[in-house]
């Protein structure tokens, strides 16, 4: 096969694969529903992208074309129906990622939250140390401004996504599991089945499994050697101690590990949550054989992934951050992190719920997390791949929010709301939908006040 065609090429995981195939010399093209920064970057890199459902634009030689699609694409899309009926080799994104990583030493990070930041940091440590790796990331690295790192070193770093059980296509040498919370219940049904999938993923790890202390992973779930990590609990194999918070929200800490202590690690990203992610990433790299001094240096220079507590403005009088959090556990963790960094300041959260099913399944938990803020602004639900569910709106979250101030604002009116809100002190935008397209305009509005 000489050609690879992507249906849903603008997705974060799909675009990484498209870049990998382009790097390997294949002719790459694809379809996506709407233009985005990612699709524009792909086009600038020489990958043709179109935005209409046009089966006539698919390469006409089925025998020489691999078609990759994402499960987020509806089954009735004309292009998907055409390739299935036309004799093409049609594979899911997760199948391709499994094939690519099977020929390399795979370092993977799974978890309902924390996996993007942690896997991106692992990739940065290996790259910054000079070893190099290919990395398939679920976010855009701020150090490299891409979601795909490419190297001829046969080491692959992968974000192991539990959606659609995709991570069960991976067989990592070393893996970390950061969290096993209920999510994607439209696929799994309940928490027990979510956790069972994570145990199956654990069983596929061949050398070392690193997991957050306290996760329901019994000894014997895997043939790999098991280690635990924690932010500060000395019962774990890897944990932080002597933590010091700087005025800018960045921590310095010592990392205790089975081989000794790495002292004075300063995080390049904000908050204690990112200390914990750094400990998980360091654990992976230490087990892989990376030098402790290289790990300390890389954690200090790590800028994070776009939309993971990303700083746009950070002054004593006005702070604006943006975060991808779209599950109640990660939303609560991010809000608590912001509270710890900026105690005593008024916190305003703008949240766009993602998916009708997730809103339906976790409305009370979302409300509880958002109630930690001083003011809550809720946008309409971003549907992604889903059709509306009767009675499921942002109102079912808002009604249980106990923050002193709360309101619903239509997506198209949010910028006007920001312009008219004069008492913004700490503002954070949250969500996995199209709220990201409003982040820069919001930053531009707020920068006029600094």
Q: Which CATH number describes the domain made up of 310-447?
A: 3.90.190.20
Q: So what's the pLDDT on residue 438? A: 96
SS3 assignment for 293-346 = HHHHHHHHHCCCECCCCEEEEECCCCEEEEECCCCHHHHHHHHHHHHHHCCCCC
CB 135 within 8 Å of CB 101: no
How many angstroms separate the CA atoms of 275 and 340, rounded? Answer: 13
Token pair recorded at residue 87: 């004799």
Name the DSSP letter for residue 60: S
Q: So what's the pLDDT on residue 260? A: 97
How many angstroms separate the CA atoms of 152 and 170, rounded? Answer: 20
Domain ranges within the chain, ordered by starting residue: 3-93, 103-301, 310-447
Burial of 413 (0-12, 13-18, 19+ CB in 10 A): exposed
Q: So what's the pLDDT on residue 103? A: 85
Q: So what's the pLDDT on residue 384? A: 84
* CATH fit for domain 3-93, picks 3.40.50.150, 3.40.50.720, 3.10.20.30, 3.30.300.30: 3.40.50.720
* Fold held by 103-301: 3.40.1190
Pairing relationship of beta strands 174-177 and 208-212 according to DSSP bridges: parallel
List the strands of the sheet with 174-177, edge to edge: 146-149, 134-141, 155-160, 105-110, 174-177, 208-212, 225-230, 238-245, 251-257, 260-266
Q: So what's the pLDDT on residue 270? A: 86
CB 97 within 8 Å of CB 136: yes
In three-state secondary structure terms, 255 is strand
CB 130 within 8 Å of CB 123: no
Q: So what's the pLDDT on residue 166? A: 84
Which residues are paired to 66 by β-bridges?
4, 89
Distances (CA, A) of 46 to 3, 23, 68, 235: 14, 11, 18, 51
Nearest to 267 by CA among 279, 284, 258: 279
pLDDT in tens, the chain (450 residues): 899 999 999 988 899 999 999 999 999 999 999 898 899 999 999 999 999 999 999 999 999 999 999 988 888 999 999 999 999 999 999 899 999 999 899 999 999 888 999 999 999 999 999 999 999 998 899 999 999 999 989 999 999 988 778 899 999 999 999 999 877 777 888 999 999 999 999 999 999 999 999 999 998 999 999 999 999 999 999 999 999 998 777 899 999 999 999 999 999 998 888 999 999 999 999 999 999 999 999 999 999 988 888 989 989 899 999 999 999 999 999 999 999 889 999 999 999 999 999 999 999 999 999 999 999 999 999 998 789 999 999 999 999 999 999 999 999 999 999 999 999 999 999 999 999 999 999 999 999 988
How many angstroms separate the CA atoms of 236 and 244, rounded? Answer: 20
């Amino acid at each position: 096969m000489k050609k690879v065609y992507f249906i849903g090429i603008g997705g974060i995981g799909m675009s990484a694969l498209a870049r990998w195939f382009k790097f390997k010399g294949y002719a790459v093209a694809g379809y996506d529903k709407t233009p985005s920064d990612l699709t524009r970057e792909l086009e600038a890199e020489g990958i043709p992208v179109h935005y209409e459902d046009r089966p006539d634009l698919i390469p006409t030689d089925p025998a020489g074309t691999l078609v990759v699609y994402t499960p987020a694409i509806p089954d009735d899309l004309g292009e998907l129906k055409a390739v299935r009926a036309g004799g093409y080799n049609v594979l899911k994104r997760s199948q391709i990622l499994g094939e690519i990583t099977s020929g390399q030493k795979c370092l993977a990070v799974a978890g309902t939250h924390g996996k993007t930041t942690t896997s991106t940091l692992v990739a940065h440590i290996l790259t910054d140390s000079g070893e190099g790796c290919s990395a398939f990331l679920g976010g855009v690295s701020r150090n490299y401004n891409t979601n795909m790192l490419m190297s001829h070193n046969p080491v692959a770093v992968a974000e192991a996504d539990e959606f659609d059980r995709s991570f069960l296509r991976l067989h990592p040498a070393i893996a970390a599991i950061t969290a096993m919370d209920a999510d994607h219940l439209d696929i799994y049904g309940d928490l027990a089945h979510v956790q069972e999938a994570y145990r199956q993923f654990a069983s596929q790890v061949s050398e070392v499994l690193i997991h957050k202390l306290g996760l329901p992973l019994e000894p014997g779930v895997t043939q790999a050697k098991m280690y635990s990590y924690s932010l500060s609990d000395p019962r774990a194999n890897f944990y932080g101690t002597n933590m010091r918070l700087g005025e800018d929200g960045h921590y310095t800490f010592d990392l205790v590990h089975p081989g000794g202590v790495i002292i004075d690690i300063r995080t390049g990203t904000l908050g204690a949550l990112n200390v914990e992610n750094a400990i998980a990433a360091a654990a992976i790299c230490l087990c892989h054989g990376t030098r402790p001094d290289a790990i300390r240096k890389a954690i200090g220079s790590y800028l994070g992934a776009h939309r993971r507590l990303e700083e746009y403005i950070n002054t004593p009088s006005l702070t604006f951050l943006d975060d991808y959090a779209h599950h109640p556990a990660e939303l609560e963790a991010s809000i608590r992190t912001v509270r710890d960094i900026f105690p005593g300041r008024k916190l305003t959260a703008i949240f766009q719920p993602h998916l009708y099913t997730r809103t339906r399944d976790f409305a009370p938990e979302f409300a509880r997390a958002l109630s930690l803020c001083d003011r809550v602004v809720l946008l309409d639900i971003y549907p992604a791949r889903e059709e509306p569910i009767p009675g499921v709106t942002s109102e079912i979250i808002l009604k249980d929010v106990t923050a002193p101030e709360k309101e619903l604002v239509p997506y198209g009116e949010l910028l006007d709301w920001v312009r008219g809100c004069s008492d913004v002190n700490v503002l954070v935008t949250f969500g996995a939908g199209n709220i990201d397209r409003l982040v820069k305009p919001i930053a531009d509005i707020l920068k006029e006040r600094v």
